Structure 1
Amino acid sequence: MDKADILISVQKRYFESIVSGKKSVELRRRAPKISHGSRIWLYCKSPIATVAAVCKLQRIETLPIEEIWERHWHSLAISKPEFDEYLCGRESATALVIQDVELLRNPLHLDAIRSIKINFQPPQFFMHLRDDCALTDRLKLELA
């Protein structure tokens, strides 16, 4: 597994739940190829359209969906009907168990990101950020 940074897109309500500590597990349909300790940059979707926080991956679990619910329901910040709808037709899901959430000093708005990385489109699932990438360098500057 790669210890590379990734960028994920999350809805505003989930972003707020992660930052407040109510949500410590991010649910995904597909497993990103990352390992323990990888940094996960959080892009809060439109209308906020900003990378405003980062966290670390504590562990990743890909399991049958009912096992994900049994283990993590209290840390998902999602109702059972929403969980079932999101994973409808899937046999398994991935739980990104996160820790050490940190707000950026100066969140990076979509326009600012596009001035650094031309044609940037927020990821639908996730995107790897190379260590030598100008965007990665800029994000690291905003760590407290």
Structure 2
Amino acid sequence: MSRALLLSVRPRFARGLLAGTKTAEVRRRFPEVPEGTTVIIYSSSPEKAILGTMRTRRLVRINTEEIWREYSHAIGIGRAELADYLDGATNSSVLELDNPNLWSRPVGLAELRRQLGVEPAQSFRYLNAKQLSRLQGLARRNADSAPMDLHASVPALR
């Protein structure tokens, strides 16, 4: 694998993705993301942590008016909020995701910065294979360090 996608999402969407109830992410634009790419789920403020990974099924370029009809069941957002987000866009992208993997211990922003020198972008950024490997090592080390109640770090999964 040459690179992974570090995807920044609001905490409620991160929880939905990793719970498997949200299986698609809508963006005004996405670059090409090959099928099978590892997607690292970064939960933005106030959590500010990587919570787990998913895998891309496919990237669909779609007319914004078709998104609700085709993906309302999978995007975890209401029609009005979607319309506000996509206001002014004629075409958008939908990243279909599967294989949610909620990590037993999140990797916080401070650790991400200190250990990998990585700053999450507002929307997304790429990590190379070396950065992904180091991140997975951090996640394993965190998981081994102490038992944790998964619901404590991700309250909406209760």
- Unaligned runs of 5+ residues in structure 2 are 144-158
Helix, strand or coil for the counterpart of 1:67? helix
**Aligned counterpart, 1:131:** 129
Is residue 65 from structure 1 mapped to residue 95 from structure 2 by the alignment?
no
When the two chains are superposed, the root-mean-square deviation of aligned CA atoms in Å is 1.7
Instruction: Give the distance between the partners of 2:3 and 2:82, measured in 1 at CA.
Output: 28
Unaligned runs of 5+ in 1: none
Residue 3 to residue 60, structure 1, CA distance change in 2 (3 Å): farther
Deviations 1:9-59 (A, max 9, x none): 110111111122211001111113210000100000011100011000001
Aligned length: 140
What is the CA-CA distance between 1:132 and the residue it aligns to?
2.3
Q: Which residue of 2 aligns with 1:6?
A: 5
One-letter identity of the residue aligned with 2:133: D
1:122 aligns with 2:124: no
Q: Is the 8 A contact 1:3 1:36 kept in 2?
A: no
Match of 1:56 in 2: 55
State whether residues 3 and 38 of structure 1, in contact with CA within 8 Å, keep that contact through their aligned partners in structure 2.
no
TM-score (structure 2 length as normaliser): 0.82
- Indicate the SS of the match to 1:35: coil
Question: Structure 1's 14 and 29: CA in aligned 2 closer, same or farther, altered over 3 A?
Answer: same
Give the counterpart letter for 1:84 in structure 2: A
Q: Percent identity?
A: 27
Distance 1:41 1:90 in 2: 26
The residue aligned with 1:74 is: 73
